[in-house]
Structure 1
């Protein structure tokens, strides 16, 4: 039976940036485990993208004694760059595709190679090609460093439009033993949280029946004066979210709810650690990077606190 069109996850086109790093390898393994059980009607195409970065071009400029500005137009650079692509990058992308096939991914896979600043090229490519989902690994960097110095995952997740970005955590994934998806969905009743709820619904329905485990979590902030009233409101909110899952075709048997007290981001990550969840699916508020730096957001803090888990940021 086909999946209801209204509840397809937003992953018709999936982009996986790859660069031979440990983070990139984790992202590829996660992608294989996540996408292999999903129908090609849901995931139409996967794009494996490698960007020849500025550091590569600068290194080439040093090697052949040319100024950076004129380097890319040099016939010698073009020849050396093409040799590097043919010997290093094409085989790397071919091997990556073969690994996805071995994991059981059946949908179309395309390979792309670009030149330039990786962050800008990934964001521009995603915008131009209408990419719905990006899967990329996270590196070890503090929240302040990522905001001040920049990070690829931070910039990618803040691009405009409706999309879902999986920032793959540090937990090791084995090709031969893919974990059962255990998804923690923070819910506060906001429109942004509902977007994440809807995406989690689509993902669960895309998997074979009964495979995914879902838990909806709400955190009551300790700042609330009337804790009893806040608790009752939170219980109603969680029950409403659970009913929405069930109305949309999710079996009651795979849904749990959890109520916690404290700092929302800290408690969400603590619940993910204690419950051994491998995906936290959370709605983004739509704030710009600058506003998030000044005002903060729960989704941004969860992304930086949850090192082990994959954080799926749902934007609308």
Structure 2
């Protein structure tokens, strides 16, 4: 379980969703709310304002962090706060390294952590460059509070070390969750077009299905080693799109994925696919870095 969690906040309601997720998911962690003053931007200036941009920024930081502390108090949680000055994504990453943060939680704005301002555009850099596991919370706090986290967790698997690390993370950190391992078969042809039996495509499909069975069996073995229950399923399609659609159709509460995959296997569910899911998913997505620990 994460012990030192960083939540960047900027005053937007979506950013506070990151705090709500932490309060529900990490009951024993030390949580720090970080506000970064960007000296290149002044959103609070008004005509005739005698305050300097620095004064306005510091006052804004104080208001936002006070609001964060109020949310923590309502949950009966302690909250550390910090203000830093500089480029937001750089300061977030520097704090992560300097303070030995082991998990970063960012709230996204709207449909994507990339689009929008501050944490919107900053989220892209954090997701790509963070040295630790990162969670992107796409839902507003009001919707998040309606979920009983961890709830139902979907873990896409592809046989890579990174996907296995994500599965191990979910099995060990979300012991009360209902977890499903999903393998998406990315076919080199349109699976919806007629029958493939008797054509040259049949052998391709059989080979991919056999590989899928091996991957899902391996996932089940990981769960059995931990005396954990695990459902498995297989679907066909473009991985990023199919993962998001599957999660929504089956009413999952969140996704856990491996990132920065370097396997030689083609069309991995890690790396760019994980980032694409984080961009598109309206559900919370945790991107796990590192190799699986344990057996």
TM-score where L is the length of structure 2 = 0.78
Corresponding residue number in structure 2 for 1:16: 7
Unaligned stretches of 5+ residues in structure 1? 1-8, 66-75, 206-210, 288-295
* Inter-partner Cα distance in structure 2 for 1:281 and 1:238: 16
Q: 1:109 aligns with which of 57, 76, 79?
A: 79
* Inter-partner Cα distance in structure 2 for 1:51 and 1:153: 13
Which deviations, in whole Å up to 9, do the C-alpha atoms of 1:88-120 show, x marking residues without a partner? 433532331232242244xx5311011122111
Which deviations, in whole Å up to 9, do the C-alpha atoms of 1:232-282 show, x marking residues without a partner? 2212321220221231242x2xx2111001111111111110111121111
Residues 179-190 of structure 1: matches in 2 within 5 Å?
A: 179-181=148-150, 182-190=152-160
Q: 1:315 aligns with which of 283, 289, 292?
A: 289
Report the CA distance between 1:216 and its aligned residue. Answer: 0.5
Query: Aligned with 2:171: secondary structure?
Result: helix
Q: Is 1:97 matched with 2:69?
A: yes
Distance change (3 Å), C-alpha of 1:195 and 1:173? farther
Q: Is 1:194 matched with 2:179?
A: no
CA contact under 8 A between 2:114 and 2:123: conserved in structure 1? Answer: no
Corresponding residue number in structure 2 for 1:300: 275
Corresponding residue number in structure 1 for 2:256: 281
Q: 1:164 aligns with which of 126, 130, 133?
A: 133
Higher helix share: 1
Report the CA distance between 1:171 and its aligned residue. Answer: 5.3
* Inter-partner Cα distance in structure 2 for 1:198 and 1:109: 28
Report the CA distance between 1:166 and its aligned residue. Answer: 0.7
Corresponding residue number in structure 2 for 1:247: 225
Query: Aligned with 1:20: secondary structure?
Result: coil
The two structures, once aligned, show a CA RMSD in angstroms of 3.0
Query: Aligned with 1:139: secondary structure?
Result: coil
Distance change (3 Å), C-alpha of 1:235 and 1:101? farther
CA contact under 8 A between 1:284 and 1:314: conserved in structure 2? Answer: yes
Query: Aligned with 2:129: secondary structure?
Result: coil
Q: Is 1:238 matched with 2:203?
A: no
* Inter-partner Cα distance in structure 2 for 1:143 and 1:180: 21
Corresponding residue number in structure 2 for 1:128: 98
Corresponding residue number in structure 2 for 1:258: 233
CA contact under 8 A between 1:218 and 1:260: conserved in structure 2? Answer: yes
TM-score where L is the length of structure 1 = 0.73
CA contact under 8 A between 2:137 and 2:283: conserved in structure 1? Answer: yes
Distance change (3 Å), C-alpha of 1:83 and 1:155? closer
Distance change (3 Å), C-alpha of 1:55 and 1:196? same
Which deviations, in whole Å up to 9, do the C-alpha atoms of 1:69-106 show, x marking residues without a partner? xxxxxxx84xx745763x5433532331232242244x
Greater mean deviation of Cα atoms: 257-266 or 170-179: 170-179
Which deviations, in whole Å up to 9, do the C-alpha atoms of 1:202-239 show, x marking residues without a partner? 2213xxxxx31111000111117411222122123212
Which deviations, in whole Å up to 9, do the C-alpha atoms of 1:162-191 show, x marking residues without a partner? x21111113554576442322110001101
Corresponding residue number in structure 1 for 2:181: 216
Report the CA distance between 1:144 and its aligned residue. Answer: 8.5
